[in-house]
Homo-oligomer: A and B are copies of this chain.
């Protein structure tokens, strides 16, 4: 820990180096460290320790060492959920390498470069090899520079890249969130994730949620192009960062998978979103899309393709499909009749329920409250944000990201604060503040509760939860619970029937399940049936790079999904009003 800090690296340390928060995880790459302490044995699994995972605050170098500090152990500007349950799947990459020695041309054998290449591939069993336009441009010089001894990247029967022998091929997977981008660099030959990078979606400046982003895109002739360009530019930065992390060149990235909700999907491709934002809310395309990276301005290999899995409906996008693939819920319900509910909690929350062989999906406008937006002292999940709140016998304990003094509160903190306030009776079941409860004040704009007094914050101003904050959280959790309840209703089940309740997404990973149940956001299932899976959309995207089989499953899932439009459901208002209560 001391060495890392001395090197100027901002490593997370919530517990101040006491060894219990588990946030300063690092991975040993080279050299030797002291043996794992008892505290480390508690926080890390046996397998993780075997793979070199350690806590920086507990380990001391015994030799010169090289360690890898993953992004999630850094107090970066914003926490982006990168990790998740990888799940098991067959390695069966979409692009495979073929080593080839080609006979050079002579005056007696003037076959064109393309025909020569095709002939060589046909001799290797590729039935009707194809070479398309963008690759044509680089082919002739590549063959000659590499003296006719090449490694080809083969995508089905199409040659998409010509490399020096044994050049490793990489894939790029990006989860395009409304708020955040999470990018992964994957080795296509073994499916391993080599680098991760996360960053805010640059389109945030043009609208925080999907609806306002669509409104911006519709403003004038150029605004849609602006959104597309900003996004691709930022993605190119991410590509550079990923490549730098592991020392590869971006021309080795030969395939990309992008997932996102339908609006992000359309805005990334530069497709119109007007018809998506107005009833009857129609996607331009819902089938999977394959586009050349070049056509989108994405700087990877010139022959690379971008694959985007299919969308389910206007507001249930390919990110949710990707999550459904990663969590394998379709398989689960078909196999043993399990009932599985899966949520991707975010500014827009997508919910699927797999029951009795059916898959029902819906989308809830949960709003940006979970991102700390529209909240009085709200902030994103960054350093100094209150991420956890406990109230015991009049005492208030808060924990911040990075462990320093609080300067604001992020989504999981707000949920915690309100759940605890309800528990100790500061608010009632309708969300109203109890005027005579300790810490409650009445200001110009209504009541508020002082969570942290000015003397204990990082900026010397108090941090409060206002009546409006409580209302925002009610709207958010009410929307989600409404979605859950209507899906159960449509499937004809009650909550006790749910065998597994999967929660994905950054907020979903950090939220306190118990408190989410207490405020009525989730149904009151036994805690062990809940499963927080991290960035399942990102994991699914990676699987779609490494597995042709997964790509074949995507349209199959789409076909099975029944989309449930919530707002037109006859019981919507009734259920929604009930769901707003604590």
Interface on A for B, CB 8 Å cutoff?
A: 105-107, 109-115, 131, 133-134, 136-137, 139-141, 144, 269-272, 274-275, 279-287, 289-292, 295, 311, 313-314, 563, 565, 568
Contact = CB atoms under 8 A, between A and B. Distances in A.
B282 A105 contact: yes
Given A107-B565, A285-B136, A568-B107, A141 B280 contact: no
A106 B137 contact: no
Nearest to A106: B280
A134 B296 CA distance: 10
Contact of A133 (B134, B272, B295): B295
The winner among A112, A289, A311 for most chain B CB atoms within 10 A is: A112
A310 to B, nearest CB: 9
A287 B136 contact: no
B113 A280 contact: no
A233 to B, nearest CB: 19
Contacts of A283: 112-113
A292 B295 CA distance: 11
The 10 tightest CB contacts between A and B, nearest first, are A112-B286, A112-B283, A114-B285, A140-B284, A107-B280, A133-B291, A140-B272, A105-B282, A113-B284, A105-B280
Contacts of A291: 133
Contact of A275 (B111, B140, B292): B140
Contacts of A290: 133
Contacts of A279: 107
Nearest to A115: B286
The winner among A115, A282, A313 for most chain B CB atoms within 10 A is: A282
A284 B144 CA distance: 11
A303 to B, nearest CB: 13
Given A295-B133, A565-B107, A114 B271 contact: no
A110 B280 contact: yes
A363 to B, nearest CB: 12
Given A141-B272, A275-B140, A285 B112 contact: yes
A119 to B, nearest CB: 12
A275 B287 CA distance: 42
A133 B280 CA distance: 23
A563 B110 contact: yes
Nearest to A138: B272
The winner among A115, A140, A280, A283 for most chain B CB atoms within 10 A is: A140
B134 A282 contact: no
Given A112-B285, A280-B106, A286-B115, A137 B563 contact: no
A244 to B, nearest CB: 25
A284 B112 CA distance: 5
26 contacts: A106-B280, A107-B568, A110-B280, A110-B281, A110-B313, A110-B565, A111-B282, A112-B283, A112-B287, A112-B311, A113-B282, A113-B283, A113-B285, A114-B287, A131-B285, A133-B269, A134-B295, A136-B271, A136-B285, A137-B269, A137-B270, A140-B271, A140-B272, A140-B274, A140-B282, A144-B275
A567 to B, nearest CB: 9
A130 to B, nearest CB: 10
Contacts of A113: 275, 282-285
B115 A287 contact: yes
Contacts of A133: 269, 289-292, 295
A84 B281 CA distance: 55
A110 B141 contact: no
Contacts of A295: 133-134
A287 B290 CA distance: 25
Nearest to A272: B140
The winner among A133, A144, A286, A563 for most chain B CB atoms within 10 A is: A133
A409 to B, nearest CB: 38
A292 B134 CA distance: 11
A126 B565 CA distance: 32
A314 B280 CA distance: 57
A561 to B, nearest CB: 12
A582 B295 CA distance: 57
Contact of A139 (B109, B284, B311): B284
A568 B565 CA distance: 75
B313 A271 contact: no
A112 B290 CA distance: 17
